[in-house]
């Protein structure tokens, strides 16, 4: 892919029930997740946001679950050289969870954790097309990438060194410390998300999907068997956000320009 190193180039939901996940997220976010897998040997379905791709859904196999696989959202960070990035991450205190491997016509991938134990993928895509799964203002796309870390300052240093994801201002949050905005080369100075200290039981990378109306999406989360933690909150800049979990307990966020139902 032609995205610069340090770009978020893919998002993936790991789930124990891809069919149920399709029903829930299609309704809440307005997606059209493939009804069936197109990948031989595994249940992997593409997420469609209108005419765009927004990510993928992988059903966890019994073997994956037996080896510690769990339902969660994960992000892929694009790199120029997967093997070199993995070596650098390990040297900097990170760890390898899934060694680098190739998928024909897709790319080279490895699953790693940062020094604080937060998992993500690194990937060099085989396609010469630009990934557009992250779109700050695109409905149905990840609009914000947020890392809750046990050591926010160390995380900021790690992601800048490894991927050029750098601090781009911040907002004080009292006892919770600073909410540090982050940007990368591709964003040209615009924030793509934030890094903050973890203050609950949800450390790691989290992703906010953009929807037209926050109250309407909230109602769909609840009617679909998910959980909404708190009421919609307006954030600086005027957008509205809520934090949720799907029926499997997988955490995600929603962001909207409108508080209407």
130 domain-assigned? no
Tell me: do 153 and 243 sit in the same domain. yes
Tell me: do 105 and 203 sit in the same domain. no
261 domain-assigned? no
Tell me: do 75 and 179 sit in the same domain. no
135 domain-assigned? no
pTM (2 decimals)? 0.96
Q: Which residue has the tokens 């990368």?
A: 184
Residue where a domain stops, chosen among 98, 125, 152: 125
CATH code at position 185: 3.10.180.10
243 domain-assigned? yes
Phi, psi (5° rounding) for residue 22?
-60, -50
pLDDT at 128: 86
132 domain-assigned? no
pLDDT at 68: 86
Residue where a domain stops, chosen among 94, 125, 156: 125
Tell me: do 205 and 170 sit in the same domain. yes
Tell me: do 69 and 146 sit in the same domain. no
Tell me: do 172 and 247 sit in the same domain. yes
Tell me: do 119 and 152 sit in the same domain. no
**How far lies 250's CA from each of 118, 125, 156, 210, 253, in Å?**
15, 26, 25, 17, 10
66 domain-assigned? yes
pLDDT at 1: 67
- The domain tally of the chain equals 2
pLDDT at 200: 66
Residue where a domain stops, chosen among 93, 125, 157: 125
Which residues of the chain register pLDDT less than 50? none
CB atoms within 10 A of CB 200: 9
Q: What does the pLDDT look like over 165-197, one tens digit per residue?
A: 999 999 988 877 899 999 999 998 899 999 999
170 domain-assigned? yes
Domain that holds residue 22: 8-125
Tell me: do 54 and 107 sit in the same domain. yes
Tell me what percent of the residues of the chain surpass a pLDDT of 90. Answer: 84
Tell me: do 113 and 146 sit in the same domain. no
To 10 degrees, the CA torsion angle through 223, 228, 232, 238? Answer: -100
Tell me: do 121 and 14 sit in the same domain. yes
CB atoms within 10 A of CB 66: 9
116 domain-assigned? yes
């Amino acid at each position: 892919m032609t995205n610069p190193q340090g770009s978020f180039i893919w998002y993936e939901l790991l789930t124990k029930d891809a069919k149920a996940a399709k029903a829930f997220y299609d309704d809440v976010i307005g997606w059209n997740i493939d009804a069936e897998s197109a990948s031989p040997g595994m249940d992997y379905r593409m997420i469609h946001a209108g005419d765009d791709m927004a990510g993928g859904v992988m059903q966890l196999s019994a073997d994956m679950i037996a080896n510690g696989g769990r339902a969660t959202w994960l992000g892929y960070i694009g790199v120029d050289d997967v093997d070199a990035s993995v070596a650098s991450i390990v040297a900097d205190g990170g760890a390898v969870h899934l060694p680098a491997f190739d998928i024909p016509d897709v790319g080279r991938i490895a699953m790693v954790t940062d020094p604080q134990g937060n998992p993500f993928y690194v990937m060099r895509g085989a396609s010469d097309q630009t990934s557009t799964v992250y779109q700050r203002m695109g409905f149905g796309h990840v609009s914000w990438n947020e890392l809750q870390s046990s050591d926010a300052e160390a995380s900021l240093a790690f992601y800048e060194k490894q991927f050029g994801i750098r601090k781009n201002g911040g907002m004080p949050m009292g006892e919770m410390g600073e909410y540090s905005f982050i940007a990368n080369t591709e964003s040209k100075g615009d924030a793509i998300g934030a890094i903050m200290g973890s203050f609950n039981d949800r450390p790691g990378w989290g992703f906010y999907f953009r929807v037209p109306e926050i109250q309407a999406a909230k109602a769909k989360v609840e009617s679909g068997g998910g959980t909404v933690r708190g009421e919609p909150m307006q954030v600086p800049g005027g957008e509205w956000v809520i934090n949720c979990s799907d029926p499997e307990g997988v955490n995600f966020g929603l962001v909207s320009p409108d508080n209407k139902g």
